[in-house]
Amino acid sequence: MRPPTAPPTIEISFPDLSPWERGNTGIPYAWRFESKRAGPQVTLQALTHGNEVCGAIALAKLLEWAFRPVRGTLTLIFANVEAYLAFDAADPFASRCIDEDLNRLWTPDVLDGPRQSRELTRARTLRPCYDATDFLLDLHSMTDPCPPLGLAGRQRKGLELAYGVALPEHIVIDEGHRAGRRLRDYAFFDDPADPRSALLIECGQHWEHASPAVAMQAALRFLRHFGIASPEFLDERLDREPLPAQRAIQVTDVVTIATDDFGFVIPVAGLDVVAKQGTLLARDGEREIRTPYDECVLIMPARRPRRGETAVRLGRFVA
Ligand SMILES: [Zn+2]
């Protein structure tokens, strides 16, 4: 087994996004296509994190195919392209962002506040696109190998959207991170009384061979769910394999790293289930982190734990 600090192999090639730079919305790398038939405003987003390339491969394909919605509106966004362009295979985790995490900025106090960063500038530029979105699919990938995960947020409508899309198998019901709000939880997406909704899908490990296909199937299923794509278009491209029944995991605890001396004390991997309550998982300085109940599911344990960030989220399967 490779040591956990060795960077994983890059199995996929990074697409040239320069053909898509100009956009058609007045915003670089943002494209909008409108059908003459009324319908929902759907947005597909890639590169919220600059080194999570699978979604960019899927969106570039839709653009190459000159896909057009058969009803409603489709917006395609490559979000943090500046970080994407900074990707360096010798230091592949560095290009998650430039100045700060673009996916922790999505509250009015941050967006409307005085603080400046390159991610905040991009977030402020793109914000009108999200304000005009009814349904958002935000395509991500993960640091460590893990089966794909749908992150449905904390509202019932998010879980219903994930079930409507019908993949991936594992859906996480969660409130996000203390370090700041995610785009998928932005404004009305997190309002239980508002029908607009968002889904974040983690398509697998960032650079593993399988992730781009997961991103593409997720995008196609999302388009299908909203009647945005013609049956002929989908017939040609949708995976025919039967999908497994979906399972929801309720996040109960978010372990946020408090010190510079954090470490897991047992081997951890995404979706590992720890059988016994009270099992010691990690130490954070003097603090011991133990499983709060039996059959505790570990969600996206951090490969490179850093103070202030989420080390792992704990959850349990729910009906
Ligand atoms: Zn991400």
Q: What is the pLDDT of residues 261-319, one digit of tens each?
A: 999 999 999 999 999 999 999 999 999 999 999 999 999 998 788 898 889 999 999 98
Query: Which amino acid is located at 265 in the chain?
Result: V
Residue 3 above 70 pLDDT?
no
Distance 222 CA to ligand 1 centre (A): 18
CATH, domain range 18-237 = 3.40.630.10
Instruction: For CATH 2.40.50.630, list the domain ranges present in the chain.
Output: 251-318
Which pLDDT does position 2 carry in this prediction?
Answer: 41
Distance 10 CA to ligand 1 centre (A): 17
**Closest by CA position to 49, among listed 87, 75, 90:** 87
Mean pLDDT of 20-26: 98
Instruction: For CATH 3.40.630.10, list the domain ranges present in the chain.
Output: 18-237
Provide the Cα torsion 13, 182, 250, 172; round to 10°.
-20
Distance 157 CA to ligand 1 centre (A): 22
N-terminal to C-terminal alpha carbon distance within the chain: 36
Mean pLDDT of 171-176: 92
Lowest mean pLDDT, pick from 32-41, 124-133, 191-200, 306-315 = 306-315
Q: What is the pTM of this model?
A: 0.94
Distance 49 CA to ligand 1 centre (A): 5
Distance 41 CA to ligand 1 centre (A): 23
Distance 233 CA to ligand 1 centre (A): 28
**Closest by CA position to 220, among listed 229, 211, 212:** 229
Distance 140 CA to ligand 1 centre (A): 4
Residues above pLDDT 70, as percent of the chain: 98
Mean pLDDT of 202-208: 97
Query: Which amino acid is located at 20 in the chain?
Result: W
Which pLDDT does position 309 carry in this prediction?
Answer: 87
**205: its two tokens:** 């490990």
Distance 38 CA to ligand 1 centre (A): 32
Residues 218 and 140: their CA atoms lie apart, in Å, by: 11
Distance 188 CA to ligand 1 centre (A): 21
Distance 142 CA to ligand 1 centre (A): 7
Distance 143 CA to ligand 1 centre (A): 9
Residues 84 and 141: their CA atoms lie apart, in Å, by: 14
DSSP assignment letter at 68: -
CATH, domain range 251-318 = 2.40.50.630
Which pLDDT does position 1 carry in this prediction?
Answer: 38
Which pLDDT does position 5 carry in this prediction?
Answer: 59
Average predicted confidence (pLDDT) for the chain? 95
Mean pLDDT of 117-137: 98
Distance 285 CA to ligand 1 centre (A): 27
Residues 300 and 270: their CA atoms lie apart, in Å, by: 5
Distance 81 CA to ligand 1 centre (A): 13
Distance 47 CA to ligand 1 centre (A): 8
